[in-house]
Amino acid sequence: MNKKFIDEKLVLEVNKILHNYFSKIYVGTPLQFRNTAVKKWTEVATNFLSKDSLKILDFGSGTGFVPQAIIPHLQNSTLICMDISKDSLKISKSRLNKYKKLIKRKKIKLKFITNLPSIPLRIPLPSSSVDIVLVNFVLHHLYKPEDFVSEAHRILKNKGILIVGFEPNHKFLKNRMLRFLNVMYSLVISLINPSLIFKSISKMPLMYYPKKFIKKTMLKKRYAKYDVIENNLNQHFIKNGLIRKSLSLDDFLSISNYQDFIDPEILISKRLFTPVTFETYVHLDLLNYEIKNRKLKHIMEKIDLSLRRRFPDDGSLFFAVLKKKK
């Protein structure tokens, strides 16, 4: 899908509506990285969030993935969960109920705020009012991630901390060696595990119509609920004049994930923040696939670790901690 002619209003509205629809199954980070993400956010909470009396904003909080990981480490602090989707926040609130006793004992205040779509992006909090801003797997949904960086700087107190978790890394795309190795390993692994060949082919654009035919005929019952969502989305957006012709659900998902990759340089390009730590993960894109063979998966993980040591900044996902400049 050509994103060149998509405007910011459509991106905002698609994100709001889609996350309302998928809030019941959304976990806040890709399932294959969930354990890594929980481990990393627990580490971050221990190092940066365990101080007394902090005011913390989790921007794009979704259904509560980050709050669940960090709450055990907070103390006498306020955690603001903010999201564009009301339904996601409702689920977040219900999931955090299981920490009710812990929240009371550690004197944690929880707030849930729906961030209404605005152009340019605006965070509805006063300037210099927050100690720490968290954002996990969210920037790639934004039309202009740099607007978020400016807003995070505005609301943070002097020397406040911005933590950006698990964003698709533009440096991975620019690393020709990694791209070549990924292609080569894909070919080798596909020969060992033929199912990966079909998964790779199914992602190609030329497979759009065959896949659509299979979904509409052979797997009609399985995909019936997605057809309902697709029809409802088209009715809503055509009625409101945001699109002229019907789009597929895949198109809407592509609009939602507006940025294919995020350049980490945007976090420091305006010289508003100083980097504290920067890490990347998943140098072998094959780990995105569900490899059931344990030995094969173990080999891939070892190769990935080796590539991570050689190209520490070029993994397909990055995690950054930054400090606000005066």
CATH for 22-172+260-288+314-324, options being 3.40.640.10, 3.40.50.150, 1.10.3210.10, 2.40.50.140: 3.40.50.150
Cis peptide before 120 (omega within 30 of 0): yes
Query: What are the tens digits of pLDDT across the range 218-273?
Result: 555 666 777 888 899 999 999 999 999 999 888 999 999 999 999 999 999 999 99
Cα–Cα distance for residue pair 89/92, rounded to 1 Å: 5
222: left (phi over 0), alpha (psi -120 to 50) or beta: alpha
| Confidence class for position 207, pLDDT limits 50, 70, 90 | very low
Is 206's pLDDT higher than 50? no
Total number of residues shown for the chain = 326
Cβ neighbors of 225 (< 8 A, separation 6 or more) are none
Distances (CA, A) of 154 to 127, 128, 148, 157, 324: 5, 6, 10, 8, 9
Cα–Cα distance for residue pair 160/323, rounded to 1 Å: 6
Is 65's pLDDT higher than 90? yes
Q: What is the pLDDT at residue 145?
A: 96
Query: What are the tens digits of pLDDT across the range 82-116?
Result: 999 999 999 999 999 999 999 999 999 999 999 98
Is 198's pLDDT higher than 60? no
Question: What is the average per-residue pLDDT within 279-308?
Answer: 81
Q: What is the pLDDT at residue 215?
A: 56
Residue 170 and residue 264 in contact, taking contact as beta carbons nearer than 8 Å: yes
Is 62's pLDDT higher than 60? yes
**Measuring CA to CA, which residue among 116, 110, 117 is closest to residue 55?**
110
Q: How far is Cα of residue 212 from the mean position of the Cα atoms in its chain? A: 27
Cα–Cα distance for residue pair 217/236, rounded to 1 Å: 26
Average pLDDT score over the chain:
87
Tell me phi and psi for residue 308, to 5 degrees.
-65, -40
| In the chain, where the domains are located | 22-172+260-288+314-324
Q: What is the pLDDT at residue 227?
A: 82
Is 290's pLDDT higher than 70? no
More confident position, 7 or 34: 7
**Measuring CA to CA, which residue among 308, 304, 272 is closest to residue 291?**
304
Query: What are the tens digits of pLDDT across the range 132-169?
Result: 999 999 999 999 999 999 999 999 999 999 999 999 99
Query: What are the tens digits of pLDDT across the range 12-61?
Result: 999 999 999 888 766 666 656 778 899 999 999 999 999 999 999 999 99
